């Protein structure tokens, strides 16, 4: 069974050019499946039955796994079986009958504009670190990019003449604009902070940590938590909260969903639709509180 899993992961890496995070996710999901099947006496891929897969999915539900987690595991199993069937490693794709559980879409946490302003105003010092922190927070809210995209931006991805950044992954790239406030913070970082942080090393990453190296996701999460606490914000703010707030505030102020979809990099506009729903709910609340004939 491990041979077929390794072949699939190699295919993802060499042919599909998937990200390392995606590959690790598939490996993790398929490792759990393999462990379960072996506990039931199934050790060869050819011996896996549809009932065994259905029992595995049911065991995850019985163990209390969230529907989103179960759905992701099903997607991994289906992708694996699609591959090994196509490669002739098994004669039939027995995963076609697996049905993902219905996932209730959660309304994302959105910061108020005053909370955003309070958070972004926290880095006020003149140290290279605080100048960098200010630039990163301003750019994150100005563009709504993902934290991974933020910490992996290259100098060549930044265009200060046109006020745009280019975000790339293995499949596509997109251009996202930013405003004057973020530009001012970035220019100050480039002039007063970055060279002191990299310490004379040759680094093409735009934002670096205090050792002059690429910042980790965990490092930026700690940064967000620090300034959230400093701002006196009690809500649990994450980098993704700023991304959600960016989108919701754009829609609230009249941006069309298609443009917001492109800036966020959503492949399906139905994912972006949730921000319009948030806005509609807000308008209903305002109406209910304000209309004289309720």
Q: Per-residue pLDDT tens for 30-68? A: 999 999 999 999 999 999 999 999 999 989 888 888 888
Q: What is the pLDDT of residues 257-289, one digit of tens each?
A: 888 888 888 877 777 777 777 655 544 554 455
Query: How is residue 126 written in tokens?
Result: 């003149």
Cα–Cα distance between 109 and 234 in angstroms, integer?
A: 13
> Is 108 among the domain residues?
no
For residue 286, what pLDDT is reported? Answer: 41
Percent of the chain with pLDDT over 90: 53
> Is 225 among the domain residues?
yes
CATH number assigned to the domain comprising residue 54: 1.10.150
Residues 269 and 190 in one domain: yes
> Is 96 among the domain residues?
no
76 vs 264, residue with greater confidence: 76
Strand order of the β-sheet with 158-159 is 158-159, 164-168, 173-177
Neighbours of 71 (CB within 10 A): 18
User: Cα torsion at 43, 49, 52, 58 (round to 10°)?
Assistant: 140
Residues 60 and 193 in one domain: no
Q: What is the pLDDT of residues 222-271, one digit of tens each?
A: 999 999 999 999 888 888 889 888 888 888 888 888 888 888 888 777 77
For residue 104, what pLDDT is reported? Answer: 59
CATH number assigned to the domain comprising residue 208: 1.10.443.10
Q: How many domains does the chain have?
A: 2
List Cα–Cα distances, 148 to 46, 144, 151, in angstroms: 38, 12, 5
> Is 252 among the domain residues?
yes
Residues 225 and 284 in one domain: yes
Neighbours of 33 (CB within 10 A): 21
Q: Which of 68, 86, 104 is the last residue of a domain?
A: 86
Residues 49 and 152 in one domain: no
> Is 274 among the domain residues?
yes
> Is 95 among the domain residues?
no
Containing domain of residue 225, as a range? 113-288
For residue 63, what pLDDT is reported? Answer: 87
Residues 64 and 134 in one domain: no
Q: Which of 70, 86, 102 is the last residue of a domain?
A: 86
Residues 127 and 250 in one domain: yes
Residues 62 and 122 in one domain: no
Percent of the chain with pLDDT over 70: 91
Residues 140 and 204 in one domain: yes
For residue 159, what pLDDT is reported? Answer: 94
For 219, half-sphere exposure in the C-beta direction (CA atoms, 13 angstrom radius) is 17
Residues 54 and 188 in one domain: no
Cα–Cα distance between 135 and 129 in angstroms, integer?
A: 10
> Is 101 among the domain residues?
no
Nearest Cα to Cα of residue 240 among 264, 260, 257: 264
For residue 280, what pLDDT is reported? Answer: 53
* Stretch 136-155: mean pLDDT: 92
**Model pTM score:** 0.62
Q: Which residues, listed in sequence order, are joined to residue 135 by a DSSP beta bridge?
A: none
* Stretch 15-28: mean pLDDT: 88
For residue 285, what pLDDT is reported? Answer: 52
Mean model confidence pLDDT for the chain: 86
Answer yes or no: are the C-beta atoms of 80 and 93 closer than 8 Å. no
Residues 130 and 275 in one domain: yes
Residues 80 and 121 in one domain: no
Cα–Cα distance between 213 and 157 in angstroms, integer?
A: 17
Nearest Cα to Cα of residue 249 among 137, 136, 159, 114: 114
Q: Which of 8-22, 169-183, 277-291 has the lowest mean pLDDT?
A: 277-291
Does the structure show a pLDDT above 90 at 212? no
Which residue in this structure is represented by tokens 């999460």? 221
Residues 242 and 135 in one domain: yes
Cα–Cα distance between 114 and 110 in angstroms, integer?
A: 12
> Is 100 among the domain residues?
no
């Amino acid at each position: 069974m491990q041979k077929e899993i390794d072949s699939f992961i190699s295919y993802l890496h060499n042919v599909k050019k998937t990200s390392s995070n995606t590959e690790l996710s598939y490996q993790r999901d398929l490792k759990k499946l393999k462990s379960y099947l072996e506990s039931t006496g199934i050790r060869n891929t050819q011996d896996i039955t549809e009932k065994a897969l259905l029992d595995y999915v049911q065991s995850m539900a019985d163990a209390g796994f969230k529907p989103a987690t179960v759905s992701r595991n099903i997607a991994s199993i289906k992708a694996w079986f699609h591959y090994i069937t196509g490669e002739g490693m098994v004669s039939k794709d027995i995963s076609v009958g697996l049905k993902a559980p219905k996932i209730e879409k959660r309304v994302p946490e959105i910061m108020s504009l005053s909370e955003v302003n309070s958070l972004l105003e926290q880095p006020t010092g003149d140290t290279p670190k605080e100048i960098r922190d200010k630039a990163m927070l301003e750019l994150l809210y100005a563009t709504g990019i993902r934290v991974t995209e933020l910490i992996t931006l290259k100098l060549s991805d930044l265009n200060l003449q046109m006020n745009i950044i280019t975000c790339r992954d293995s499949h596509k790239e997109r251009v996202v604009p930013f405003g004057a406030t973020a530009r001012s913070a970035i220019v100050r970082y480039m002039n007063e902070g970055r060279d002191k942080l990299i310490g004379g090393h040759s680094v093409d990453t735009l934002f670096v940590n205090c050792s002059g190296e690429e910042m980790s996701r965990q490092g930026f999460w700690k940064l967000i938590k620090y300034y959230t606490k400093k701002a006196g914000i009690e809500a649990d703010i994450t980098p993704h909260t700023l991304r959600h707030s960016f989108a919701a505030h754009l829609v609230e102020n009249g941006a069309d969903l298609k443009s917001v979809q492109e800036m966020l990099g959503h492949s399906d506009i139905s994912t972006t639709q949730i921000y319009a729903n948030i806005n509609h709910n807000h308008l209903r609340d305002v109406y209910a509180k304000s209309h004289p004939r309720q």
